[in-house]
């Protein structure tokens, strides 16, 4: 019994010294993966703040992180400078939240979105607290852009039609 306890203690120290994550962080990630796998039926990988879910049909969804997406649907969205605080990205849907965007920067970005071809079925709305723009492109990809003026936060949502 003493040997088993000593071995466990040595392994615990090794993991603490060698790995960047504590054993409790690694255990929490594994538990989270298991719960999400049971809920979604897919394979789940939790890596810090980023969660990747691969479904049974082979599609993949990434949640979290604070970097502009470089793959899936997100790779085709014009980049907006600012602090990326949330990303959800798959082959059919992408949502990005960016903070610290001044009104003039948002208006320049809106022109960039239009130049990228999101000009069909346009709908726009603005009031004293927000500005919203929605449109589709030639590939029937929908683009929704919302700017919250007071908090200087932009929400970008892009989705492909599931026809």
% of the chain with per-residue pLDDT over 70: 77
129-to-58, 148, 149, 152, 160 alpha-carbon distances in Å: 41, 6, 5, 10, 28
Stated pTM of the model: 0.72
- Kindly list the structural domains of the chain, giving each domain's residue range(s) and its CATH number in brackets, ordered by start: 18-58 (no CATH), 63-163 (3.30.160)
% of the chain with per-residue pLDDT over 90: 54
- Give residue 51's pLDDT: 76
| Average pLDDT score over residue span 139-158 | 96
Q: Quickly state the pLDDT bin for 22 (edges 50, 70, 90).
A: low
| Average pLDDT score over residue span 125-151 | 96
Three-class DSSP category at 38:
helix
**Kind of pairing between the strands at 93-99 and 120-126:** unpaired
């Amino acid at each position: 019994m003493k040997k088993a306890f000593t071995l466990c203690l040595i392994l615990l120290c090794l993991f603490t010294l060698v790995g960047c994550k504590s054993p409790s962080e690694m255990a929490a990630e594994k538990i989270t993966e298991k719960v999400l796998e049971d809920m979604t039926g897919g394979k789940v990988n939790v890596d810090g703040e980023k969660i990747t879910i691969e479904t049974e049909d082979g599609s993949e969804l990434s949640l979290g992180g604070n970097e502009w997406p470089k793959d899936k649907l997100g790779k085709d969205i014009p980049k907006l400078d600012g602090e990326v605080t949330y990303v959800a990205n798959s082959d059919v849907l992408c949502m990005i939240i960016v903070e610290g965007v001044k009104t003039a920067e948002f208006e320049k970005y809106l022109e960039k979105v239009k130049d990228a071809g999101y000009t069909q079925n346009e709908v726009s709305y603005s009031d004293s607290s927000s500005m919203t723009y929605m449109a589709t492109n030639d590939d029937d990809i929908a683009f929704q852009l919302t700017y919250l003026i007071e908090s200087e936060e932009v929400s970008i949502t892009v989705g492909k039609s599931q026809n």
